[in-house]
Amino acid sequence: MKIVIAPDSFKGSLSSEEVAKAIRDGILRAMPAAETVLIPMADGGEGTVDSLVQATHGHKISVPVRGPLQNEVMASYGVLGDGITCVIEMASASGLVLIPEEHRNPMLATTYGTGQLIRHALDHGYRSFILALGGSATNDGGSGMLQALGLRLLDADGREIGAGGQALSHLTQIDASKWDERIIHESQFTIASDVTNPFVGPQGASYVFGPQKGATPEMVEALDAALTNFADLMAAHTGIAVHHLPGAGAAGGLGGAFQAFFPASTKRGIDVVIEMTKLNEHLQDAELVITGEGQTDAQTASGKAPMGIAQAASKLGVPVIVLSGSVGQGTEKLYEYGMTSIHSIVNGPMTLQEAMSRTPELLTQKAEQVIRTFLAGRKKEV
């Protein structure tokens, strides 16, 4: 029996590859002869490069860049197995995990390092890009990324504005005279976005994702106003108003900067990962798919990895079992999208810290249990 194991990471505990291996161990305990296919997933956020590089037998290139708070960090981008397509994961250069919680500051954090990764790839001859958006520490509307690629963002005195979302409130002019021409004339970009939120407003980048990056309610208001100013000026300059465009609010508004200045099409991150990992081909003759994520709740329906997998698998009539660290509110409607059953791996009262440190063992145990049940349901030995 072929079982596809296609989980997202458990943020704060395990990478998607580690999750997949722990699930495989449990499956093999219950069914030693099972054929397992491990396809670590991602949704545009952290782990997207690893997932696509592994699935396509590509490689990674490391580059020192300016981190979200200007300190140097070692970031990397992926070159897929075709040797042509680059995957730029913004979280690698400008991600939340790069900053300890007490130092997070979306007023100052910049996407400059993401722009440096793109420039490095352009300098090395690459012209086909997947831009993976999510898991950012930033709320700068992608301004740092644009600056790294030659765009000049100026205040009323003609001086470059500083780094971060806050500085966008002083922006009055955009000067594209030094903009990297290779972007428009020679390259193509697919944006793989972990969310579809707009650039500004109550559902926008600042209000919805600012708080997880350390923004207080006052900062959220200031950041939303600053992004609105930026969106107004981008619209005047490019003719593209990103204010309410779906996905423009991904990665602190980086999605909006790409939509305004890059020849790019926007897709759900999970759909790009499903396509590049050829998940559908693997599902064709599978009898079951097991997916999972750190927390499954109402948010899962808005395009998280297990949701995309359930949609793909249900079209092919393959049952989908979801194993998650915690199962929150609002999961009932997920069954309508093709999830067969959803399980928390926690097996008794314990703290979050304990659950997170015991994730591999708990995953293996739960996978064994669900496979035993699955086999019993088939009424005959396989």
Ligand X SMILES: O=C(O)[C@H](O)CO
Ligand Y SMILES: Nc1ncnc2c1ncn2[C@@H]1O[C@H](COP(=O)(O)OP(=O)(O)OP(=O)(O)O)[C@@H](O)[C@H]1O
Which chain residues interact with ligand X by CB under 6 A?
A: 45, 133-136, 194-195, 209, 250-252
Stretch of 5-13, 15-23, 281-289, 329-337 lying at the interface with ligand Y (CB under 6 A): 5-13
Q: Measured from the CB atom, is 40 or 231 closer to ligand Y?
A: 40
Contact 155, 171 (CB under 8 A): yes
The CA distances from residue 97 to 16, 73, 138, in Å, are 16, 12, 11
Q: Measured from the CB atom, is 270 or 318 closer to ligand X?
A: 270
Q: Measured from the CB atom, is 133 or 327 closer to ligand X?
A: 133
Q: How far is the CB of 263 from ligand Y (least distance, A)?
A: 27
The CA distances from residue 341 to 87, 288, 336, in Å, are 33, 12, 11
Dihedral sign computed on CA atoms, order 222, 224, 227, 232 = negative
Q: What does the angle CA 237 – CA 109 – CA 151 come to, to the nearest 5 degrees?
A: 30
- Residue 22 binding: pick among ligand Y, ligand X, none (C-beta 5-8 Å cut-off by kind): none
Contact 238, 161 (CB under 8 A): no
Type of residue found at 102: E
Contact 258, 191 (CB under 8 A): yes
When asked if residue 11 is in the footprint of ligand Y (CB under 6 A), the reply is: yes
Stretch of 3-11, 108-116, 232-240, 372-380 lying at the interface with ligand Y (CB under 6 A): 3-11
When asked if residue 268 is in the footprint of ligand Y (CB under 6 A), the reply is: no
When asked if residue 45 is in the footprint of ligand Y (CB under 6 A), the reply is: yes
The tokens describing 195, both together, are 């969310």
Q: Which of the 8 DSSP states describes residue 372?
A: H
Q: Which residues of 319-348 are buried (b: 16+ CB within 10 A; e: fewer)?
A: bbbbbbbebeeebeebeebbbbebbbbbee
Q: How far is the CB of 36 from ligand X (least distance, A)?
A: 30
CA 155 centroid distance within chain: 32
Stretch of 92-100, 197-205, 236-244, 351-359 lying at the interface with ligand Y (CB under 6 A): 351-359
d(CA 54, CA 258): 26
Q: Which DSSP string corresponds to 52-66?
A: HHHHHT-EEEEEEEE
- Residue 12 binding: pick among ligand X, ligand Y, none (C-beta 5-8 Å cut-off by kind): ligand Y
Q: Measured from the CB atom, is 133 or 312 closer to ligand X?
A: 133
Q: How far is the CB of 96 from ligand X (least distance, A)?
A: 7
d(CA 257, CA 215): 21
Q: Measured from the CB atom, is 207 or 261 closer to ligand X?
A: 207
Q: Between residue 54 and residue 113, which ones bind ligand Y under the rule CB under 6 A?
A: none
- Residue 13 binding: pick among ligand X, ligand Y, none (C-beta 5-8 Å cut-off by kind): ligand Y
Q: How far is the CB of 152 from ligand X (least distance, A)?
A: 25
The tokens describing 318, both together, are 């393959």
- Residue 78 binding: pick among ligand X, ligand Y, none (C-beta 5-8 Å cut-off by kind): none
Q: Measured from the CB atom, is 10 or 261 closer to ligand Y?
A: 10
d(CA 87, CA 190): 9
Query: Pattern of binders to ligand Y over 174-213, x per CB under 6 A?
Result: --------------------x-------------------
d(CA 186, CA 128): 9
By the criterion CB under 6 A, which residues form the site for ligand Y? 8-13, 43, 45, 134, 194, 293-295, 304, 325-326, 346, 352, 355-356, 359
